[in-house]
Amino acid sequence: MAKIEPNMNEWLAEAKASENAAQCGMFLTHNGVVRITPKAQVREGVEGLGKIAKVEFSYDEAGLAAAVEEALTWEGIYFVKVWLNEGVCEVGDSLMYVMIGGDIRPRVIDALQNLVGKIKSELVVEKEIMQA
DSSP states of 111-123: HHHHHHHHIIIII
CA distance 115 to 98: 8
**Whole-prediction pTM:** 0.94
Q: What is the CATH number of the domain that holds 102?
A: 3.90.1170.40
39-56 pLDDT per residue, tens:
889 888 888 889 999 999
CA distance 11 to 19: 14
Instruction: Count up the domains in the chain and report the number.
Output: 1
Q: Given this model, what pLDDT does residue 28 score?
A: 98
Containing structural domain, residue 25: 8-130
- 2 is a domain residue: no
